[in-house]
Amino acid sequence: VSFRDEDQFVRWLQQRWPRRAPGVSLGVGDDAAIVRPARRRDVALTTDLSVEGVHFHRDLHPPRAVGHRALARALSDLAAMGARARFALLSIAFPPSTSRAWLSAVYDGIGALARRSDVALIGGDTTVAEGPVSLDVVAVGDVNPSSALRRDGARLGDLLYVTGRLGMAALGLELLRTESGRVQARSSRRHGRSEVRTLALNAHLFPEPRLSAGRYLAERRLASAAIDASDGFARDLGRLCAASGCAAAVYEDRLPCPPAAAATRLDRVELALRGGEDYELIFTVPPSKARRLPKSVGGVPFHEVGEIRRGRGLRLIRVDGREAALSPHGYDHFRRST
């Protein structure tokens, strides 16, 4: 199969992307895909663009990870809405020099995460063009109309939570860049150095969208607002607060930072606050519902890290009790040079 001919490419894709899946009336190969929406559910739609040189680098990221991460970013948006992920489409532009093996592995990375997430790959578009490889993933989900997790629902007094662990993906990127040369073990009460290394690399290369946690929070109406921490905890929390018209305070000692064994030249708290691409969920819960919140869902822990306050902006409460302004900057798609 040559990738120079669009029809052959579509046939190659059809072999990889099964045409029959629940809810799919018509998959890859026609002018458009046709799906059947679930009854009494709204449809959630998101697109995520991943561009070589910005979101990934061919010399750092194996092609399976390039595919996985592109789909994971889009699925994470659905998770942050409390939606059930159902379908995905992929538009991809690649230069003529791209090898078939590299492209195959990108599709394998997408396919493996899609299968695991019960997501049917139903279409897309493909162009051979000079320039960076770019992937645009469209993710389609469905959600209970009255319980979608929006950014603008946080209210004064709500408790602030985050799933999983923060800063691990940024640590993984640092490890990739330095080829783990500078990583030093300081402590290994729970995690040894090599175990942390594996966790961090996995967090960066194969982040897991928090779909189960998001659906749990939405369908039980536990969360008042949610966003995913794609651009860093502080930045995305700032967005949630701006949308909700409120402020937030975060307790430094409650942040689920990378383990101490991971110590690099990077500060663990800074990693947790600024490191991007964790794809954890940041969410708020009214105090009256906090008792009903479990410790974890599907193995993903929920950490209470602060609270919603009146006003604007973010505050960081240091270990010694002093408060400081927390700048809502982070990892910006518009600025970063990963």
Q: Which is nearer to a copy of itself, 185 or 242 (CB)?
A: 242
**51-65 burial: b if 16+ Cβ within 10 Å, else e:** bbeebbeeeebbbbb
Q: Does 223 bind a copy of itself (CB under 8 A)?
A: no
Confirm or reject binding of residue 201 to a copy of itself (CB under 8 A).
Answer: no
Q: Give the interface size with a copy of itself as a residue count (CB under 8 A).
A: 75
* Structure-block tokens of residue 104: 């195959």
User: Is 60 among the residues that bind a copy of itself (CB under 8 A)?
Assistant: no
Nearest to a copy of itself of 252, 280 (CB atom): 280
CA atoms lying within 13 Å on the CB side of residue 45: 3
Answer yes or no whether residue 125 interacts with a copy of itself by CB under 8 A: yes
The minimum distance between CB 41 and a copy of itself, in angstroms, equals 8
- For residue 292, count CB atoms less than 10 angstroms from its CB and return exposed for 0-12, middle for 13-18, buried for 19 or more: exposed
Q: Does 22 bind a copy of itself (CB under 8 A)?
A: no
280 binds a copy of itself (CB under 8 A): no
User: Quick one: 57 or 254, whose CB is closer to a copy of itself?
Assistant: 57
Run of H or E residues at 317 = strand 314-317
The answer to whether the CB of 75 falls within 8 A of the CB of 117 is yes
User: Which helix H or strand E contains 195, and what residues bound it?
Assistant: helix 193-205
State yes or no: residue 118 binds a copy of itself (CB under 8 A). Answer: no
Of 220 and 239, nearer to a copy of itself (C-beta) is 239
Q: Is 93 in the site for a copy of itself (CB under 8 A)?
A: yes
Residue 110 to residue 281: CA distance in whole angstroms: 21
- Within 37-56, which residues bind a copy of itself (CB under 8 A)? 37, 42-49, 51, 53-55
